Chain A
Amino acid sequence: MKENIIDLKKIILKTVHSKKEGHIPSAFSILDIMFALYDRVLRIDPKNPNAPDRDRFILSKGHASIGLFAILANKGFFDFSEFENFAAYDSKLGGHPDCNKVPGVEASTGSLGHGMPIAVGVALGEKIKKSDVKVYTIIGDGESNEGTIWEAALLAGHHKLDNLTCIVDYNHSTDPAIKVHDFTEKFKAFGWESFEADGHDQEALYQAFMKDPGGRPKAIIANTVKGRGIKKIESDMLAWHHKMPNDEELDEFLGELNNRG
């Protein structure tokens, strides 16, 4: 990884500010998780993005696409210059990821509840092939309101897909609508190995990724903060879900990141 995570957050902020598109809080909520995955866990080759034996990462909560794009560009799947065209008519990069346009994107997600069943299918396919490919997906706590998440959890548990890891981005964004409560116990009830981790502690995340799931699919319930790193967003995450910073706010947010960095 070339840039550090603070620099990636700055690129995201500047892009969303100038292009008036992108979900900053959702991207910042999962940036540590994806950074840890792409930095230390996934078996991938940016020069050969379709290698059959690559590990797969599927961003089920597709609205955090700008976070994924920052990670992929940083890894070398494409150039950071693509951000200059973000969400434009002819851009590869948009408000949700398109696997037929963007190298390194494994699934075209955006409608919630689609990525995880696809990840289960990929994991099952790799099991049928008896490969050692591992499959990872990130779902949101809001996304887990969707029934397909639990249909997919049931399938993965039943078929003992121990090559599948689901990371729950548990930033409590859905609490005002409907509380999901204890994800850990819910996944265990569906036949998964399941435990919590600090979603912003990359070492803790790495250890969680390395943990043997004991022949079952693994759920990492990542405790996260929506808009992590920007206090104004953290304290009013619902208002900021799809809000674009104005010029003053951009300066304020970049300054805050500079002070933290």
Chain B
Amino acid sequence: MRKQFFTTITDVIEKDEKAVLLLGDISVKGFVDTIKKYPGRAYNIGILEQATVGLAAGLAMTGFTPIFHTIAPFLIERTYEQLKLDFGYQKLGGNFISIGGSYDYAALGCTHHCPGDVGILKHIPGMEIVLPGTAQEFHDLFLQAYSDGKPTYFRLSEKSNPESYPVKFGQAHIIKTGSKATVIAVGPSLKPVLEAARDMNVTILYYTTVAPFDKETLKANSASGKILICEPYYRGAILPEVMETLTGRAIQVETVGVPIEFLNKYGQAEEHDQCIGLTPAGVKEKLVKLLA
């Protein structure tokens, strides 16, 4: 996904004279030629994330489309007030592309973990939140949304789903339909869901955009009233939207996702997946419980 990020963004900088790339001293090697070729619109801006978001807002005010990239906790949690006020409140368009969401950088410890990004960004009115599941989906979704005049968060992942789908910004993709339950799989969490639900009579809805949330697809594909939400960040972030969509109906909801606690182990991301049940077995266990 990161290689595709280099390719897609390089292409955008080449073709769109309004696009300006700001790297927080991260992923610079992937853009060495771009920075040389477009010194006015591609910067290794330095390690000062808060001012960079403010600067990006100033660029947006002058008609540019800023694209700011660094590691998730520094892009989102450190700059939260700038994202809220400089972009959200002022209604400016910009793009924020992270790597290292949740515990992708497991071995670096909790200072570099960021499972809270999606949940807190949902509290910024107008913020769009996109979680591609594959490199191709990042490319497609970025081109669909990057210049829509709104602040948009693209969460890159070290993980990837087995195949890409023809995803549309703001719309859930129906992977399959079944009658016993509806599984909502967000971004790269589709992979364990596909394996867990392979032989089960359930609907799978694949969400690569969680804000704005596609209520219509869920409403039309949730007749069973049994819902399993599978999220690769702090669990429950989209629960209010699910409840709001299905209000007035008898429903039963289960969640798989990152528990709200410091995962203070190191190791590999897959080990954390095992620990919290973000695995085919973990998803299946929740599904069986839901269907019982």
Contact = CB atoms under 8 A, between A and B. Distances in A.
Contact of A124 (B48, B59, B63, B89): B59
A58 to B, nearest CB: 9
B58 A114 contact: no
Given A117-B50, A154-B46, A155-B48, A111 B85 contact: yes
Interface string A98-129: 01100000111011011011111111111111
A117 B62 contact: no
Contact of A125 (B45, B59, B89): B59
A122 to B, nearest CB: 4
A125 B45 CA distance: 14
Contact of A151 (B40, B51, B57, B59): B51
Given A147-B50, A155-B48, A121 B85 contact: no
Contacts of A147: 50
A18 interface: no
Contacts of A116: 54
A138 to B, nearest CB: 16
Contact of A155 (B20, B51, B60, B85): B51
B200 interface: no
Nearest to B39: A128
Nearest to A131: B62
Q: Is the interface of A mostly helix, strand, loop or mixed?
A: helix
Given A100-B90, A128-B40, A155 B50 contact: no
Contacts of A113: 50
Contacts of A120: 51, 54-55, 58
Interface string A135-158: 000000000000110011011001
Contact of B89 (A108, A126, A128): A108
B86 A118 contact: yes
Contact of A128 (B41, B46, B86): B41
Contacts of B55: 117-118, 120-121, 124, 152, 155
B77 interface: no
A128 B64 contact: yes
Contacts of A122: 58-59, 61-62
Given A125-B63, A128-B64, A108 B85 contact: yes
Contact of A121 (B46, B57, B91): B57
Q: Is the interface of B mostly helix, strand, loop or mixed?
A: helix
Contacts of A125: 58-59, 61-64
A121 B48 contact: no
A113 B57 CA distance: 14
B56 interface: yes
A100 to B, nearest CB: 6
Contacts of A118: 54-55, 57-58, 61, 86
Contacts of A127: 40
Interface string B78-121: 00011001100111000000000000000000000000000000
A151 B50 contact: yes
B63 to A, nearest CB: 7
B82 to A, nearest CB: 7
Given A107-B90, A114-B82, A118-B54, A128 B20 contact: yes
Contacts of A151: 48, 50-52
A123 B54 CA distance: 12
Given A128-B20, A128-B41, A154-B48, A117 B58 contact: yes
Nearest to A120: B55
Contact of A114 (B40, B54, B61, B63): B54
Interface of B: 20, 40-41, 45-46, 48, 50-64, 81-82, 85-86, 89-91
Given A108-B89, A111-B81, A121-B55, 7 more contacts: A99-B90, A108-B85, A111-B85, A117-B86, A121-B58, A123-B58, A148-B51
Interface of A: 52, 99-100, 106-108, 110-111, 113-114, 116-129, 147-148, 151-152, 154-155, 158
16 contacts: A52-B63, A113-B50, A114-B81, A114-B85, A117-B55, A117-B82, A118-B57, A121-B59, A121-B61, A124-B55, A124-B59, A125-B64, A128-B20, A128-B41, A148-B50, A155-B55
